[in-house]
Amino acid sequence: MLMSYWMVIVFMFVSGMYVFCSKRKHLLMMLLSLEFMVLIMFVMLFLFLNMFSYELFFSMVFLVFSVCEGALGLSILVSMIRTHGNDFFQSFVVLQC
């Protein structure tokens, strides 16, 4: 029973990786797939810590870092939309002054 949970979690993580690799034109889709993968890693960490009866303090630290990562991604998205008008990577030229 536990092995089937791990297989479902691994399948969800791989599907998040697939979306991250296939939707690389839009920054918003990339950020959403990254957050999906972070949530799946949180579930994996939670199951792993519960399986060995460890304390769950590290999962709170992981959630804090994932929230900071999400806020940083959203701030980059907002600044990119304000300067360029959309979230396409094709319109974003790094060499332009």
pLDDT class for 7, splitting at 50, 70, 90?
Answer: very high
pLDDT at 86: 82
Q: Is 94's pLDDT higher than 80?
A: no
Is 97 part of any domain?
no
Is 38 part of any domain?
yes
For the question of whether the overall pTM of this predicted structure is more than 0.85, the answer is no
Is 72 part of any domain?
yes
Q: Which range of residues forms the domain containing residue 60?
A: 2-84
Q: Which residues have C-beta within 8 Å of that of residue 1, sequence separation ≥ 6?
A: none
Q: How many CB atoms lie within 10 A of CB 26?
A: 14
HSE-up (13 A, CA, CB side) for residue 62:
16
> Taking a C-beta distance cutoff of 8 angstroms, is the pair 44, 23 a contact?
no
Q: Assign residue 78 the CATH number of its domain.
A: 1.10.287.3510
Is 47 part of any domain?
yes
Number of folded domains that form the chain:
1
Q: What is the 3-state secondary structure (H, E, C) of 22-39?
A: HCCCEHHHHHHHHHHHHH
Q: Is 14's pLDDT higher than 90?
A: yes
Gap between the Cα atoms of 66 and 9, Å rounded: 18
Gap between the Cα atoms of 12 and 59, Å rounded: 19
Is 53 part of any domain?
yes
Is 77 part of any domain?
yes
Gap between the Cα atoms of 46 and 60, Å rounded: 10
Is 89 part of any domain?
no
pLDDT digits (tens, 9 = 90+) for 18-69: 999 998 888 889 899 999 999 999 999 998 898 888 888 999 999 999 999 9
